[in-house]
Chain A
Amino acid sequence: MDNTTLARATMGTSLGFHIVFAVLGVGLPLLMSVAEGLALWRRDEAWMALARRWSRAFGILFAVGAVSGTVLSFELGLLWPRFMAFSGAIFGLPFSAEGFAFFIEAIFLGLYLYGWDRLSPVKHWLTSIPIALSGAASSVFVVMANAWMNTPAGFRLGPDGQLAQVDPVAAALNPSTATEDPHMLVSAYVVTGFLVAAVYAAGLLRGRNDIFHRRGLASGMAMAAIAIVLAGITGDSSARFVYGAQPAKFAALEGIYQTQRGAPLHIGGIPIDAQHRVLFAIEIPKALSFLATFDPNAEVRGLDSFPAADRPNPVLVHLSFDGMVGLGLLLGFLAAAFWLIAIRRRSLPTRRALLLGLVVAGPASVAAMESGWFVTEFGRQPWIVYGIMRTSQAATTAPALGLTFAIFIAIYAGLAITTARLLLMLAARNRGAAAGHGNIPEAGRIS
């Protein structure tokens, strides 16, 4: 494999690994903060116990997220030195801001994790708020940088191709930021919500019908349900933005080869370059033009209108896009069904099929998020900075990239396995502790 491919594989693996921990770093602190707040406000020991359980798990998840995020900041320079030499001055500002957000998150997490016995209960709860805020801020800042790669703005090149003028604020607030940032942020809450719900749904399926499982499930599903609606809205505006700003990506999303008016929507199917069409897809006439512009006869530019060297891979992009949208819709229906049943019955649904669905929904939400990220990244190819710098021009010329790739695959596998094992172990210990103290009352109200 050549250096560009190896660099992309290494960066992609690192990001794909990190993003799972990163979104939990955004979502879990909010759940912890709300649970601890409820515990203090209603003097409710069960909410407090939940907050403590989540904080223990979070101690591990945050650390793995922090170190894998460090790898990414190194890899920007190690794998893409020419990209960074060109772009650093333009889009570095949100990264610097993200550095501060990460600082605040790490500081208050230290206070939160180790401060249970050193801070008064209210002060301890207060330390959770900056964690939740700076987690969200980190996501916002980092995605600004990615948005800039999609719609580079805030600079002017001189006649020699060198940077002539820079406006780092305009770069941070580039056109994609307004749609990409909100979509990533709410997706973080979607994934956290469904993952938390999946853990407790699995416990309920095994007959552990106690107050922790019911509240854990309800908390996760509350976050997931609100966030999935917002993810739909922001995702829709994101796709319509791409129609105007990145036509090649949009054509690949939908497998549109010929430029046409009244373009159809392809659901599923495999785009075949040689035949210039999508095979095995369900076709809905004019639906794509309508979805993109609200005009069923609007023109959609096709892949064929771009030079072959400027086209993304439509198979990857189209299937990732349909995977994200399809899974997102299923998750939305599941969340709606859950709360409809809950409201009608005035208690949490415990139907086996629904709980099984929620267990699957956890990993499915991760798959949806990763697919969405594939769409952004594969859809931007062959550019690392859309229209400005090609990915192949940006990669390092350093030796032994294959070895680095292999080492990181091994490290991520080890970390993933150990993290999963420890979380399962912590859960088992929580159950042991709960069984030992039979005194936690059903209502959770002690004093």
Chain B
Amino acid sequence: MSSAELVAGILWLALTAYAVLAGADFGGGVWDLFASGPRASQQRSAVAEAMGPVWEANHVWLIFMITGLFTAFPVTFGVLGLALYLPFTMAMVGIVLRGASFAFRAHGSDAVGPLSPWGVVFGVASIVTPFFLGTAAAAVASGSIHAPGGQLASGFLAGWTTPLAVVTGLFALSMCAYLAATYLMVENEDRPALLADFRRRAIAAALTSGVLAMLSLAISFSEGPRLLQSLTGRGLPLFVLALLNGPLALWAVWRSRPRIARVAVAGQVVLVLWAWAVGQWPYLVPPDLTISATAAPPATLSAMLIVTTIGGLILLPSLWLLFRVFKARNPQPAVEK
């Protein structure tokens, strides 16, 4: 494996972590917006409680990915910045408003309650970001961004305004909601009423995701042959696993097995992302930009691998500590005051 491929793999891992962790935070925003029934306010508190300590760390995976992409694959970064200017700008607006409104509520909750304008902004922004990131992913996966020789040749609307992209955007959004609902089932295992609320939401999100996934496959027969080739070519084993894992996840949710469901749904996201990655290997942005042709010079890649190793040695134990303190099965009891 070349160092360029290694770095590309690391960046794809970062994307996976972002999807599985931050994706659920966006999904939390969705369930905040659609909180309903007699326990609407408890649902919102559960979302806030689950996101509070971790959302900022989860968000950094995106920064890591962006800086890694422009360091290791500067030409690809330039092309994507140009071709996906509009959807990325929309996603960015969502990221800013989502993060700020969450912090306003969490740390200034007396003035900025869930029902204030910022509360609504939180929910809406949480929808905007995954949707537009999903459309951007479709533009890449469908091979619609043409950049022979690293010069963008396709237009500013290419690939992300198609029916396939819209369906993929909705799919990304509904997977976020699905992730969040299953995570919230785990976090509320000892609160049966809330557990049932989030179970119903998880089922709804699972069915929606399933329908959208089938729809996008159907559309890609005519519209996105490239995506279909990826999934049925090199990506086939992972794609088949995803098809098998989907029903398992739904079964775990249905039977109210939160911990199995959490692993299965997160696994579903991992499988879909890696079926795509492996399927389009060795391309970063098909059909013109490959990993090796757009990689930075070897000196940059090795320096980046060294920084990533050192950084990772500090990062991973810190992350472990964060999740142990706030997400362990038996969280440490509150210290006596």
The complex places the Cα of A368 from the Cα of B93 at a distance, in Å, of: 29
B111 & A422 in contact (Cβ 8 Å cutoff):
yes
Contact with B along A397-413 (1 / 0, CB 8 A): 11110001001100100
B86 & A96 in contact (Cβ 8 Å cutoff):
no
B63 & A81 in contact (Cβ 8 Å cutoff):
no
Is the C-beta of A337 less than 8 angstroms from some C-beta in chain B?
Answer: no
A77 & B81 in contact (Cβ 8 Å cutoff):
yes
B108 & A425 in contact (Cβ 8 Å cutoff):
yes
B71 & A96 in contact (Cβ 8 Å cutoff):
yes
The complex places the Cα of A120 from the Cα of B85 at a distance, in Å, of: 47
Contact with B along A91-131 (1 / 0, CB 8 A): 01101111110111011111101110111110000000010
Is the C-beta of B6 less than 8 angstroms from some C-beta in chain A?
Answer: no
A92 & B296 in contact (Cβ 8 Å cutoff):
yes
Interface of A, helix, strand, loop or mixed by DSSP: helix
Provided the pairs A398-B85, A415-B100 are in contact, do residues A89 and B335 lie with their beta carbons within 8 angstroms? no
Stretch of B23-31, B213-221, B224-232, B312-320 on the interface side: B312-320
A82 partner residues in chain B, CB cutoff 8 A:
78
Is the C-beta of A273 less than 8 angstroms from some C-beta in chain B?
Answer: no
Contact with A along B119-159 (1 / 0, CB 8 A): 00000000000000000000000000000001000001000
The complex places the Cα of A419 from the Cα of B93 at a distance, in Å, of: 17
Provided the pairs A81-B79, A93-B71, A100-B307 are in contact, do residues A73 and B111 lie with their beta carbons within 8 angstroms? no
Is the C-beta of B278 less than 8 angstroms from some C-beta in chain A?
Answer: no
Of the four ranges (under 10, 10 to 19, 20 to 34, 35 or more), the interface on chain B belongs to: 35 or more
A67 & B70 in contact (Cβ 8 Å cutoff):
no
B74 & A85 in contact (Cβ 8 Å cutoff):
yes
| Total residue contacts A-B, CB cutoff 8 A | 241
A87 partner residues in chain B, CB cutoff 8 A:
74
Q: Which of B306-337 contact A (CB under 8 A)?
A: 307-308, 311, 314-315, 318-319, 321-322, 325-326, 331-332, 334-335, 337
Stretch of B192-200, B266-274, B297-305 on the interface side: B297-305
Contact with A along B72-101 (1 / 0, CB 8 A): 111101111110011011001101111110
B99 partner residues in chain A, CB cutoff 8 A:
63-64, 66-67, 70
CB distance from A397 to the nearest CB of B (A): 7
The complex places the Cα of A352 from the Cα of B150 at a distance, in Å, of: 64
Q: Which of A34-67 contact B (CB under 8 A)?
A: 56-57, 59-60, 62-64, 66-67
Is the C-beta of B203 less than 8 angstroms from some C-beta in chain A?
Answer: no
Name the contact of A96 in the complex, choosing from B96, B104, B304, B318 (C-beta under 8 A).
Answer: B304
**Top 3 A-B residue pairs of the complex, sorted by shortest distance between their CB atoms:** A92-B71, A88-B74, A85-B78
List B residues at the A interface (Cβ < 8 Å). 52-54, 56-57, 59-60, 62-64, 66-68, 70-75, 77-82, 85-86, 88-89, 92-93, 95-100, 102-104, 106-108, 110-112, 118, 150, 156, 296-297, 299-300, 303-304, 307-308, 311, 314-315, 318-319, 321-322, 325-326, 331-332, 334-335, 337
Chain A to chain B contacts (Cβ below 8 Å), 21 pairs: A59-B103, A60-B108, A63-B99, A67-B59, A67-B96, A67-B99, A70-B96, A70-B99, A73-B63, A77-B81, A77-B88, A81-B82, A84-B70, A88-B74, A88-B78, A90-B300, A92-B70, A96-B307, A107-B315, A114-B326, A398-B82
